[in-house]
Amino acid sequence: GQQVMQIPQYQHVQEGEDFTTYCNSSTTLSNIQWYKQRPGGHPVFLIQLVKSGEVKKQKRLTFQFGEAKKNSSLHITATQTTDVGTYFCAGWDSNYQLIWGAGTKLIIKP
């Protein structure tokens, strides 16, 4: 079936280091959304990407949507403790099904 693969599953970083998570779909997506879920919390919408090759920035976060609309990435520059959580991508496929990635958990090393 249709899948969105998200890697890595976990990423440990020192505070101040960068963080990147990647999503790859087996099919073309009409758009892709990114959510953040803090420990013990619920998914919170971050951004939606619609256009091929689109790049959007939110302060230290940079989101990209691939040219073929099959892959996306989220990059955080100079991580802070407030960035801790699990980042999910979720893509809408051509059948209007929302397919979720497995999530990448960002862990800040003490």
Partner 1 sequence: DTEVTQTPKHLVMGMTNKKSLKCEQHMGHRAMYWYKQKAKKPPELMFVYSYEKLSINESVPSRFSPECPNSSLLNLHLHALQPEDSALYLCASSQESGYRSTDTQYFGPGTRLTVL
- Residues forming the site for partner 1 (CB under 8 A): 30-31, 33, 35, 41-45, 48, 88, 90, 92, 96, 98, 100-103, 105
Least Å distance, CB 100 to partner 1, is 4
Question: Between vectors from CA 13 to CA 57 and to CA 42, what angle results, nearest 5°?
Answer: 60
Q: H helices of the chain, where?
A: none
Least Å distance, CB 78 to partner 1, is 27
Q: Which is nearer to partner 1, 13 or 102 (CB)?
A: 102
Residue 108: closest CA among 86, 81, 75, 88: 81
**Of how many residues is the chain composed?**
110
Q: Are 40 and 29 in contact (CB under 8 A)?
A: no
Q: Which is nearer to partner 1, 44 or 78 (CB)?
A: 44
Least Å distance, CB 42 to partner 1, is 5
